[in-house]
Amino acid sequence: MIKSITDCAILNNGVKIPWLGFGVFQTPPGDVTERSVCVALETGYRHIDTAKIYENESDVGKAIKASGVLRNEIFVTTKVWNSDQGYESTLKAFDLSRKLLDLDVIDLYLVHWPVVGKYVETYKACEQLYKEGKVRAIGVSNFMVHHLEYLLPRVDVVPTINQVEWHPWLQLPKLVRYCRKQGIQLQAWAPLIEGQGLTIPTIVEMGKKYGKSPAQVIIRWDLQRKVVTIPKSVTPARIKENAEVFDFELAPEDVAAINTLDENKRMFADPDYFDF
């Protein structure tokens, strides 16, 4: 059972990643990001998920410095954006991200989207960064089974993580099985469906039963499904609320009830048809 905010999943290369992280997509750059990440670190989160395209890497870096938390106690993820994909351009993009974050080593570097014709070379650049010790782990994001089936025979290092849209309406059972078989840890983005998951009647009712909010029910379900999760908020009370998920456990029948909500309903961009 996952019992604390510092409990970790162990990746296929032995690196540990806290099961609960803090996302900063759409968190405005500048003070808002810096303040939100500071509140998250004060609350006890030890895992921050940013990306080059979020334009807030430097604010994440500032918050980490200002927090006084030891660097090696915080797990930091960033991602190579689509327009930077390709071998040399990924190496260059990584250097910029590292500079903006003001960190020597990044914990996890992800290929943000499977850009057709480019993602293999991009991933090979990530392998190079990994071999040079500039990142502790590498992985992918928004990869479906067929992207992984194409990638794996062409590279040396099995991705540690696949970060995908994943929530009660989109549970991707085939991908979950495939990743588990390959030793790739699944990570959920938009776990709260950007707020829309909080009014699903089954989840609201379950919240009442456990004396927990709908957000806490969903986050706890992620943890019990063994999916690393990274809810985002700029609201201090919600940042704290989302971390208070270690003092209860959903009964197996309640995990199963949320499992039945799967509608294969993708709410955001489709990895096979994105145009950015």
Contact positions vs ligand NDP (CB under 6 A): 23-26, 49, 112, 141-142, 163, 189-195, 198, 213, 215, 230-235, 238, 241-242
Give the pair of three-digit tokens for residue 183: 């030793």
The Cα-based distances of 80 to 87, 97, 138, 155, 163 in angstroms read 11, 9, 11, 18, 13
User: From its phi and psi, is residue 195 left (phi > 0), alpha (psi between -120 and 50) or beta?
Assistant: left
Alpha helices in the chain (DSSP H): 31-43, 57-67, 87-101, 119-131, 145-151, 173-182, 201-210, 214-224, 236-241, 252-259
Closest distance between ligand NDP and the C-beta of residue 204, in Å? 12
Query: Which C-beta is closer to ligand NDP: that of 134 or that of 167?
Result: 167
Establish whether 54 is a catalytic residue. Answer: yes
Question: What does residue 175 show for φ and ψ, rounded to 5 degrees?
Answer: -65, -40
Closest distance between ligand NDP and the C-beta of residue 238, in Å? 4
Query: Which C-beta is closer to ligand NDP: that of 66 or that of 269?
Result: 269
Query: Which C-beta is closer to ligand NDP: that of 45 or that of 189?
Result: 189
Closest distance between ligand NDP and the C-beta of residue 146, in Å? 18
User: Which residue's C-beta sits nearest to ligand NDP?
Assistant: 23
Q: Which of 54, 109, 119, 123 is catalytic?
A: 54
Where in the sequence numbering do the catalytic residues fall?
Answer: 54
